[in-house]
């Protein structure tokens, strides 16, 4: 090593911090998370398909073969966690590990590995999964339906709290035996189990579907409708639409289903039975709609561990700020830019909550400008449409995408996005992007340029004021971007410098 040089070993800012081992009835999964704690990023997601609960409906035991597969996977997971130097590990087990005749033997084997396994009761499983939905959809109300291999958990949520948790023996691995008795007997059996959740019929709000099989149903619906987005999280259906797709799936060929993007072979195998069960569930519970959630029991464990102040943070802004900070989009400066453009953009979009969308779009717009020009538009729009965000519905996704298109100088509305947001909202979001583009153009978005200039809208006049003595900031490109924004808003552009 040459004199004057030294090497300091540091861990990356997005290092692996926490992990959850989820020993389910179908899969045994290790998920490692990195920051931020309010909206954790998945650093590693690995599973083994042990199918521990495959014989619960027949022999009532965990097969030895399944135990062997699970234990091999758990030994591997333990080595990975040791190598990653992760000590904050939660290990939980659900239906198979609490209901099987030989469950205690299996749990003892897991403990011998040195894993501090916690076998959740049916109520604990339901409540933990509900906290995952609460973390992903703050301030919502409805009923959570989390379906795993061994059970279906139902729990009510409202005011960021949950109640009435119940676990029903209606997991994907138990359904084939029930359905083999005929569709009438199957639906009668489902309705009989749902009597334990009679409170759900009177609970307002949608039905939040949690679990991989439900996400496969969402993938099917998105495929059939030519949906413009790819992430099933926050995908919504009316009850009538959900029932229609469920009816199509009840007798579908699993091999054909596995050819659809987002549906694996293992999910395709259980999807027809799950769809057959969903129909009497919808009929009995009568929800206001159906929403798919990618957050469930694992994320619920993390969310419940947060302090109250941390849990109250906006998950969207927290995640976007964490993503854009190292890419040139710090939230503090994005807030200044959003303030500079606020007079022009205020009141353009309908409804509430648009300012948080505009701030998120501003941070992503700042990161957009750090990309190579040939990648800038596509890459940043992909962030908006396809990257997993929390606290963001699909209307918000296409509005942020429209803002990023505007920031790139292409404000034209994408027709495929009109089913998700109104033309007014998409037009407004494009204006957000055009205003951000102008701000960047005036003085590279610097703090000094923001303090020495002002953009205002008065009736049909759009005025750009630049502090006397700084008129050198004006350029042909500044005037072009001002004119483009003015035309988009139906205004006359005026410069004062």
pLDDT digits (tens, 9 = 90+) for 135-174: 999 999 999 999 999 999 999 999 999 999 999 999 999 9
Q: Give the C-alpha separation, 395 to 420, whole Å.
A: 5
pLDDT digits (tens, 9 = 90+) for 22-72: 999 999 999 999 999 999 999 999 999 999 999 999 999 999 999 999 999
Mean pLDDT, residues 297-320: 97
pLDDT digits (tens, 9 = 90+) for 239-291: 999 999 999 999 999 999 999 999 999 999 999 999 999 999 999 999 999 99
Per-residue pLDDT at 12: 53
Backbone CA torsion sign across 181, 185, 191, 195: negative
Class of domain 123-299: alpha beta
Kindly state which CATH superfamily the domain 314-495 is placed in: Hypothetical protein af1432 (1.10.3210.10)
- In this predicted structure, the answer to whether residue 389 has a pLDDT above a threshold of 70 is yes
Q: Give the C-alpha separation, 367 to 481, whole Å.
A: 20
Q: Give the C-alpha separation, 171 to 277, whole Å.
A: 10
Q: Give the C-alpha separation, 144 to 233, whole Å.
A: 14
pLDDT digits (tens, 9 = 90+) for 311-370: 999 999 999 999 999 999 999 999 999 999 999 998 999 988 999 999 999 999 999 999
- In this predicted structure, the answer to whether residue 384 has a pLDDT above a threshold of 90 is yes
pLDDT digits (tens, 9 = 90+) for 185-241: 999 999 999 999 999 888 899 999 999 999 999 999 999 999 999 999 999 999 999
Per-residue pLDDT at 461: 97
Per-residue pLDDT at 400: 98
- In this predicted structure, the answer to whether residue 19 has a pLDDT above a threshold of 50 is yes
Q: List Cβ neighbours of 262 (8 Å cut-off, separation of 6 or more).
A: 215, 216, 218, 219, 222, 223, 230, 232
Provide DSSP, 48-84: E---TTTTTTTT-S--HHHHHHHHHHHHHHHHHHHHT
Domains 16-119 and 123-299 share a fold: yes
Kindly state which CATH superfamily the domain 16-119 is placed in: ATPase, nucleotide binding domain (3.30.420.40)
| Residue 214, helix vs strand vs coil | helix
- In this predicted structure, the answer to whether residue 10 has a pLDDT above a threshold of 80 is no
- In this predicted structure, the answer to whether residue 8 has a pLDDT above a threshold of 80 is no
Domain boundaries, the chain: 16-119, 123-299, 314-495
pLDDT digits (tens, 9 = 90+) for 402-453: 999 999 999 999 999 999 999 999 999 999 999 999 999 999 999 999 999 9
- Whether 113 contacts 74, CB under 8 Å: yes
């Amino acid at each position: 090593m040459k004199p004057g040089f030294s090497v300091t070993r540091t861990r990356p800012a997005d290092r692996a911090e926490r992990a959850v081992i989820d020993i389910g009835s179908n899969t045994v999964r290790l998920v490692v998370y990195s920051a931020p704690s309010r909206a954790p990023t998945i650093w590693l997601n690995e599973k083994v398909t042990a199918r521990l609960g495959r014989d619960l409906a027949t022999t009532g035991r965990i097969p030895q073969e399944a135990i062997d597969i699970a234990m091999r996977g758990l030994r591997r997971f333990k080595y990975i966690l040791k190598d990653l130097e992760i000590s904050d590990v939660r290990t939980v087990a659900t239906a198979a590990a609490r209901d099987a005749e030989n469950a205690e033997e299996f749990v003892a084997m897991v403990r011998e590995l040195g894993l501090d396994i916690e076998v959740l009761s049916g109520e604990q499983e339901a409540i933990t999964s509900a906290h995952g939905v609460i973390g992903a959809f703050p301030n919502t109300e409805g009923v959570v339906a989390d379906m795993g291999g061994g059970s279906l958990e139902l729990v009510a949520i409202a005011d960021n709290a949950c109640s009435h948790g119940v676990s029903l023996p209606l997991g994907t691995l138990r359904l084939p035996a029930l359905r083999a008795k005929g569709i009438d007997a199957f639906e009668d059996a489902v309705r009989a189990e749902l009597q334990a959740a009679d409170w759900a019929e009177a609970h307002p709000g949608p039905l939040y579907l949690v679990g991989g099989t439900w996400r496969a149903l969402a993938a099917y619906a998105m495929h059939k409708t030519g949906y413009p987005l790819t992430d099933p999280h926050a995908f919504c259906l009316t009850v009538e639409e959900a029932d229609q797709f469920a009816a199509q799936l009840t007798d579908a060929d699993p091999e054909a289903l596995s050819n659809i993007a987002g549906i694996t072979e293992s999910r395709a195998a259980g999807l027809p039975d799950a769809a057959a069960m969903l129909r009497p569930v919808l009929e009995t519970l009568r929800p206001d709609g159906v929403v798919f959630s990618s957050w469930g029991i694992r994320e619920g464990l993390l969310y419940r561990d947060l302090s109250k102040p941390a849990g109250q943070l906006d998950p969207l802004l927290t995640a976007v700020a964490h993503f854009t900070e190292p890419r040139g989009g710090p939230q503090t400066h994005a807030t200044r830019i959003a303030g500079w453009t606020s007079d022009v953009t205020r009141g353009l979009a309908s409804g509430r909550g648009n300012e948080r969308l505009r701030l998120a779009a501003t941070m992503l717009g700042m990161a957009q400008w750090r990309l190579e020009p040939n990648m800038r538009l596509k890459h940043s729009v992909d962030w908006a449409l396809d990257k997993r965000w929390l606290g963001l519905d699909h209307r918000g996704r296409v509005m942020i995408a429209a803002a990023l298109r505007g920031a790139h100088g292409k404000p034209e509305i994408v027709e495929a996005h009109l089913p998700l947001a109104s033309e007014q909202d998409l037009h407004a979001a494009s204006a957000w992007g055009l205003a951000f583009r102008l701000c960047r153009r005036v003085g590279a978005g610097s703090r000094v340029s923001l303090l020495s200039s002002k953009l205002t809208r008065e009736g049909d006049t759009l005025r750009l004021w630049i502090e006397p003595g700084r008129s050198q900031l004006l350029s042909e490109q500044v005037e072009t971007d001002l004119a483009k924004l003015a035309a988009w808003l139906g205004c006359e552009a005026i410069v004062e410098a």
